[in-house]
Chains A and B, each alone.
Chain A
Amino acid sequence: MEENNLQCSSVVDGNFEEVPRETVIQFKPPLYRQRYQFVKNLVEQHEPKKVADLGCGDTSLLRLLKVNPCIELLVGVDINEDKLRWRGDTLAPFLGDFLKPRDLNLTITLYHGSVVERDSRLLGFDLITCIELIEHLDSGDLARFPEVVFGYLSPSMIVISTPNSEFNPLFPSVTFRDSDHKFEWTRMEFQTWALYVANRYDYSVEFTGVGEPPAGAENVGYCTQIGIFRKNGGKAMESCVSEQYDQHVYKAVFTTSYPSLQQERFFKLVLVNEVSQQVESLRVSHLPRQKKQDGEWGDKPKDSKAPCPCFGPVFTEVEKAKIENSPKPFCVGDKFFVPLQRLLAYPKLNRLCANEEMMRSVIADSIPLSSDGSAVVSDLRDYFDEQF
């Protein structure tokens, strides 16, 4: 099995806590994974469409989030252009995404830029995450940070994580967790800052964290403290986005678009495939079994030791009834007909296609239809039947 070797990449990406030094506390799963999982859970819960990760580093979080079906725009921002360039390719669609496209469009863009600069392309987001970011900002940048992220970008939700310095005495080294950290806050310091910012920009904030302290040291709190900020009054105002001046200060380093069912070409591909597969399966089950007539093979193997593979879709009672009640496939001569209505009764196809008209128009030039267009026609026997 391919196991992403995240652990070693984490060493260079500032997630040092999980790399044991001498007798260090070890988190399981590793702390950086816990942070990402936290964001991922949040995304699953709130289903944001547009998500940005500020200080995205090696884009690990973006890679984790891109599989989420609800996200349509995913943006990463970092000041390290090399890393974005180098890792960007890993965010491109997999080959499999072209064969089994997503439901919704997804665009992923990586920008080179600083989080304290305003770029209008990040306006109107549903979620902006700043995971282990603020402690890398010097005091000037830290002062400008709320103004840009909360005041200007003003997304519906902001997640900020930062080390909890109260936890540090449990680590062997007494200094900051990373040589680039400008500060590490206690819970009180972080919460004071967060409440002030929330108050100022009309957000509400809730505190939590990941990385449980070991038994006996519960009072130090989570190793990573997290603030979840929600904009009072709900959604980001999309209307005001267009009124703002376009301000493009970030440099787009990498951008990729995913194939999806929203794109005609891929929708057609998937629908035509599903239809021909369903027709094929109906056709085959319609064929008389020649081999039974020979009598040599018998009906079913008596050998119970042989694992009996039985797969294929499993339908609920409701689905079964729906299929039963739809027009049945039929034969005329050596032609086999499957009414489109029948096809629409199958959940997979029903999910793709709302009605017969739509199905007809999409598949018409790829799959032969009956003269009145109400059914798919195929030869009752094909090349492969002769092979078995």
Chain B
Amino acid sequence: PPSVDLSNNEASSGNGFVGTSRISTNDKYGISSCDAGSTFMERDVKNKRDFMDLDVCTREKLAHVRDCKTGSSGIPVKLVTNLFNLDFPQDWQLYQYHVTYLPDLASRRLRIALLYGHSKLSDKAKAFDGVMLFLSQKLEEKVTELSSETRRGETVKMTITLKRELPSSSPMCIQVFNIIFRKILKKLSMYQIGRNFYNPSEPMEIPQHKLSLWPGFAISVSYFESKLLFSADVSYKVLRNETVLEFMTALCHRTGLSCFTQTCEKQLIGLVVLTRYNNRTYRIDDIDWSVRPTHTFQKRDGTEITYVDYYKQQYDITISDLNQPMLVSLLRRKRDDNSEAQLAHLIPELCFLTGLTEQAASDFQLMKAVAEKTRLSPSGRQQRLAGLVDNLQRNTNARFELETWGLHFGSQISLTGRVVPSEKILMQDHICQPASAADWSKDIRTCKILSAQSLNTWLILCSDRTEYVANSFLNCLRRVGDSMGFTVDYPKIIKLQENPAAFVRAVQRHVGPDAQLTAYYDSIKKYLSLDYPVPSQCVLARTLNKQGMMMSIATKIAMQMTCKLGGELWAVEIPLKSLMVVGIDVCKDALSKDVMVVGCVASVNPGITRWFSRCILQRTTTDVADCLKVFMTGALNKWYKYNHDLPARIIVYRAGVGDGQLRTLIEYEVPQLLSSVAESSSNASSRLSVIVVRKRCMPRFFTEMNRTVQNPPLGTVVDSEATRHEWYDFYLISQVAGRGTVSPTYYNVIYDDNGLKPDHMQRLTFKLCHLYYNWPGLISVPAPCQYAHKLTFLVAQSIHKEPSLELANFLFYL
């Protein structure tokens, strides 16, 4: 088999890749730790992972959708996409050649130079990585012998052997298309950082937060339902307007020396830096405080040189600060040549920070400023896409490149989606048809919620300063509670000093065996979730101080408190009787990055209003699968306890799946889920479906209205053209995006014993997006996924341990 990176896919797919949501967070800001500016074949691992997923063909095993996976209900809606046709002649093929050199040349650059310099190939479109050559035109002979002379007079014989003829749909060919487009975008003066392309000459500034945003695009070429399409989406690269040295200096001022090194490492390790003297990015893996720029290191030729001299000689850069430590980056080998990973020492002064530190990402004001700058309306987005396409078609270099490959950049794809019928919200004594599915808080204001435990014995902890607000809040809470059917008795109010220790002490002292509780977040949550499981509600005084908002805030808090006590707010009509829905999400622990936090939430009643929630900490992917089994067994027991039977159907929504993990899911998780289902019943066991949920996907959809594009209506389903042939998949738009562009949520049914019609599967999924009790409106994913997400987030950020099982029956994490 050929030795290009791609062919190693099978080998590497077995290595369970850990760490999913990390990647998606990174994606949000366009960060990736791979090198920019390198030539084609050797793409980063992440890219390979994409292609790995493509090998997984799940639809062929699902008999009921083998012929047709599209639904039919709803009103058809015409949609414009961010996908574009790539036109090429029908018989277009890619020819893959293997090139050998005699005498053999070790230098990749020399190999490429000799081949590119040969007149025989000079007018042909080609992609070459030193070993593998791709041409769009076949050479006359199967084996072509060329000879070239180095300027040194040495004759080198190159043997070019045809290996394969690849149809345009082959994965290898798609990879080459991606390479071609990367080349083309570079010709448009865009810079590749990670996988995306950015235009640094038109930065947008956020001076108050010392940030620059580089506008750019995420692009890819992939084979969709029936043809190869080019997709593009707007992306922004966040850069900090400071060098790492400046960042360190400022940090040192803040922290003082005592805890500086520790804080600094905490802040910087894991971030990606851009070096000033080349176009490469590096991930900071460590900081070496003992090495200074005046120290020496060994160059490749064995000579010793100081960092100062090296940068002077190599890049003509004078390092001004001789006391700075070194950043250490583990160089990821692009080619698997078995050599050991190398360490690079980087000078903080010459490195720029990209992306946001965790702390910055938690700064609401900062994130708001970033969001405001990057938010694009559908028409704004469409304009940017049009700009890119225009550029691609007009730029002579870009066009030349496309034409030599025999490609033509085609039209923007339009397709037909369907808007599924809206749902009614079932309250205790009222069925309401909300005016807008986005937010039905007004519609249900006068309605009683389905069920609520009354709040009898409880505490409010507050500081002296906030006593007044706490009292007026209590009044509001009782009033709104009354109207929604949630009885709130008077609590004991305890005034405290304003520090975490005092709060925790008070909690420890006052929380008796059957107290419930209201009012420094992490420590309280930790105590009340682990040591002494009692539902709690934290409210910031600042939130309560907002003028005129008290009632709506109290309503929201009353609902949260109801849920935490095991109450049910509303329901939608579920036509399937005896259906259990499960949400699973996975993310990394904020403190120890090698720990995976797995959150699982299962419905325990046919109305899908009560939930069983567990969170488990694990270290490896196989452990994740194992703990799913533990969870499922527990959930089925719970179901049996409440319903005296097992559910006939189980539908699992699995979120937090990284690129390239599909196979792992199918090979490890699905079997574990199946075995837990089989083991819990001696006779007919429940039927299982597993659906992968992705909030981030390339396609965007717009409706055209009055000559401008807008977000599609809620409930829009797309199950053709932008989907993949080998998968049972669909897109669903179940969220509103105020002034921005809505992202569809992507669903891929990877396992399905239930045999529901695609139409029913889609509508059921839509129904489940109505059931998240923290928000009286539709959300972007099915409620169990969002619950699981909320739970993993709380554990990963604040608790770092498995919450007490006593809380499993309550939505304590809302």
B471 within 8 A of A: no
Known: A82-B116, A281-B253, A311-B324. A5 touches B258 (CB 8 A): no
Q: Roughly how many angstroms separate A179 CA and B248 CA in the complex, as a whole number?
A: 55
- Given the complex, which residues of A lie within 8 Å of B280, measured CB to CB? 2
Question: Across the two chains, which residue of chain A brings its CB closest to B152?
Answer: A16
Residue of A nearest to B364 (CB): A383
User: A145 CB to closest chain B CB, in angstroms?
Assistant: 22
| Nearest A residue to B323, CB-CB | A311
Flag whether B278 is at the interface (Cβ < 8 A).
Answer: yes
Contact partners of A285 in chain B: CB under 8 A: 253
Chain A residues near B252 (CB, 8 Å)?
A: 309-312
Query: Judging by beta carbons under 8 Å apart, are B258 and A300 in contact?
Result: yes
Do residues B315 and A67 form an inter-chain contact, with CB atoms below 8 A? yes
Report yes or no: A9 in contact with B113, Cβ–Cβ below 8 A.
yes
Q: Do A98 and B200 touch (CB < 8 A)? A: yes
Chain A residues positioned under 8 Å from B277 (CB to CB): 94, 96
Is A68 close to B, CB under 8 A? yes
Expressed in whole angstroms, the Cα–Cα distance for A15 and B366 within the complex equals: 53
Q: Is the CB of B246 within 8 A of A277?
A: yes
Bound complex: CA A310 to CA B258 (Å) = 12
Verify A269–B203 contact, CB threshold 8 A. Answer: yes
- Is chain B's interface secondary structure helix, strand, loop, or mixed overall? mixed
A357 within 8 A of B: no
Partner-binding segment picked from B204-212, B405-413, B586-594, B791-799? B204-212
Nearest-CB distance from B246 to chain A (Å)?
6
Q: Is the CB of A383 within 8 A of B113?
A: no
CA distance A361 to B316 in the complex (A): 34
Q: Is there contact, CB below 8 Å, between B310 and A309?
A: no
Is A366 among interface residues, defined by CB-CB distance under 8 A? yes
Residues in A with CB closer than 8 Å to B245 are: 311
Q: How far does the alpha carbon of A220 sit from the alpha carbon of B210 in the complex, in Å?
A: 60
CB–CB A312/B315 < 8 A: no
Query: Counting CB contacts under 8 A, is A289 at the interface?
Result: yes
Q: Which residue on chain A has the smallest CB distance to residue B149? A: A179
Q: How far is the CB of A46 from chain B (nearest CB, A)?
A: 16
Question: Which residues of B sit under 8 angstroms from A384, Cβ to Cβ?
Answer: 254, 359, 363
Report yes or no: A388 in contact with B279, Cβ–Cβ below 8 A: no
Nearest residue, chain B, Cβ from A280 = B250
- Complex contact A306–B261 (CB within 8 A): yes
Q: Which of B253, B278, B314 contacts A284 (CB 8 A)?
A: B253
List of A residues within 8 angstroms of B205 by Cβ = 269, 272, 366
The CA of A281 and the CA of B314, in the complex, are separated in Å by 32
The verdict on A141 contacting chain B, using a C-beta distance below 8 Å, is no
With a CB–CB cut-off of 8 A, which chain A residues contact B254?
284, 287, 384-385, 388
Q: Which of A1-39 contact B (CB under 8 A)?
A: 1-5, 8-9, 11-16, 19, 21
| A300 and B352 form a contact (CB under 8 A) | no
Shortest Cβ distance from A68 into chain B, in angstroms? Answer: 7
Report whether A12 and B200 are in contact in the complex, using a CB–CB cutoff of 8 Å: no
- Given that A1-B299, A95-B36, A383-B365 are contacting pairs, would A309 and B248 also be in contact in the complex, using a CB cutoff of 8 Å? yes
| Complex CA distance for A4 and B277, rounded to whole angstroms | 12
Contact A276 B207 (CB under 8 A): yes
CB <8 Å contact, A68 and B110: no
Q: From residue 192 to 226 of chain A, which have CB atoms closer than 8 A to chain B?
A: none
Of B259, B316, B321, chain A has the most CB atoms within 10 Å of the CB of B316
Q: B56-64, B186-194, B539-547: which lies at the A interface?
A: B186-194
Mark B105-145 against chain A: 1 for CB-CB distance below 8 A, else 0: 00101100110110000100000000000000000000000
Q: Quick one: which of B200, B248, B261, B345 has the most chain A CB within 10 A?
A: B200
Q: Is the CB of A276 within 8 A of B325?
A: no
Which of A2, A95, A367 gathers most chain B CB within 10 Å? A95
Q: Which residues does chain A contribute within 8 Å of B310, judged by CB atoms? A: 1
Query: Which of A100, A297, A307 has its CB near the most chain B CB atoms (within 10 A)?
Result: A307
Number of interface residues of B (CB under 8 A): 75
Q: Mark B325-345, 1 if CB is under 8 A from A, else 0.
A: 100000000000000000011
Whole-angstrom CA separation of A298 from B324 in the bound complex: 25
Complex interface: chain A residues within 8 A of B350 (CB): 96
Residue on B nearest A68 in the bound complex, by CB: B316
Q: Complex: how many Å from CA A180 to CA B275?
A: 40
Chain B nearest CB, measured from A112 CB (Å): 14
A98–B203 CB distance below 8 A? yes
A301 adjacent to chain B (CB < 8 Å): yes
A380 adjacent to chain B (CB < 8 Å): no
- From A2, A89, A256, A276, residue with most partner B Cβ within 10 Å: A2
Max count, chain B CB within 10 A of own CB: residue among A19, A68, A281, A383: A383
- Chain A nearest CB from B322 CB (Å) reads 9
Chain B nearest CB: distance from A33 CB in Å?
Answer: 10
In the complex, whether A244 has a CB less than 8 A from a CB of chain B is no
Q: Once the chains bind, are B359 and A387 in contact (CB under 8 Å)?
A: yes
Q: Does residue A335 face the partner (Cβ distance < 8 Å to B)? A: no
Does B255 sit at the interface, judged by CB under 8 A? yes
The verdict on A14 contacting B151 (CB below 8 Å), with A99-B239, A307-B289 known, is: yes
Complex contacts, B321 vs chain A, CB 8 Å: 311-312
A1-B345, A297-B259 known; A273 vs B242 contact (CB < 8 Å): yes
Decide yes or no whether A291 CB sits under 8 A from chain B. yes
Query: Shortest CB–CB separation between residue B278 and chain A, in angstroms?
Result: 6
CB distance from B33 to the nearest CB of A (A): 15
Chain B residues near A297 (CB-CB < 8 A):
256, 258-259
Interface flags for B143-171 (1: CB within 8 Å of A; 0: not) read 00000011111000000000000000000
A178 proximal to B (CB < 8 A): yes
Say which residue of A92, A179, A306 sits within 8 Å of B189 (CB atoms).
A92
B180 CB to closest chain A CB (Å) equals 15
Whether, in the assembled complex, B297 has its beta carbon less than 8 Å from a beta carbon of chain A, the answer is yes
Interchain CA distance A291-B253 in the complex, whole Å = 13
Q: How far is the CA of A5 from the CA of B36 in the complex (A)?
A: 18
Complex: how many Å from CA A256 to CA B109?
24
Question: A300–B257 contact, CB under 8 A?
Answer: yes
Per the 8 Å Cβ criterion, residues 276-334 of B in contact with A are 276-280, 289-290, 297, 299-300, 310, 314-317, 321, 323-325
* A108-161, CB < 8 A from B: none
A174 CB within 8 Å of chain B: no
Determine if B72 is an interface residue (Cβ-Cβ < 8 Å): no
> Are B249 and A8 within 8 A (Cβ)?
no
Give the residue of B117, B239, B278, B344 whose beta carbon is less than 8 angstroms from that of A94. B278
Query: Counting CB contacts under 8 A, is B263 at the interface?
Result: yes
| In contact, B258 and A269 (Cβ under 8 angstroms) | no
Residues of B contacting A11 with CB < 8 Å? 110, 150-152
Which chain B residue lies CB-closest to A258?
B201
Determine the chain B residues whose CB is within 8 A of the CB of A180 once the complex forms.
Answer: 151
A-facing mask of B231-256, CB < 8 A → 1, else 0? 00000000101100110111011111
B113/A12 in contact, CB under 8 A: yes
Q: A4-B314, A308-B257 are in contact. Are A179 and B153 (CB under 8 A)?
A: yes
Is A245 interfacial (CB 8 A cutoff)? no
Q: Which of A239-272 contact B (CB under 8 A)?
A: 256, 259, 265, 269, 272
A-B contact pairs, 11 of them (CB 8 A): A5-B109, A96-B352, A99-B276, A100-B352, A173-B153, A276-B208, A297-B258, A298-B258, A309-B289, A311-B252, A312-B321
* 12 extra A-B contacts, CB within 8 A, seeds A1-B297, A82-B117, A306-B261: A4-B314, A5-B107, A8-B107, A99-B241, A277-B210, A280-B250, A287-B254, A309-B323, A367-B207, A383-B365, A388-B254, A388-B255
A residues adjacent to B (C-beta < 8 A) = 1-5, 8-9, 11-16, 19, 21, 67-68, 82-83, 86, 89, 92, 94-100, 173, 178-180, 256, 259, 265, 269, 272-273, 276-277, 280-281, 284-285, 287, 289, 291, 297-298, 300-301, 306-312, 366-367, 383-385, 387-388
CB-based closest 3 A-B pairs: A96-B276, A98-B200, A8-B107
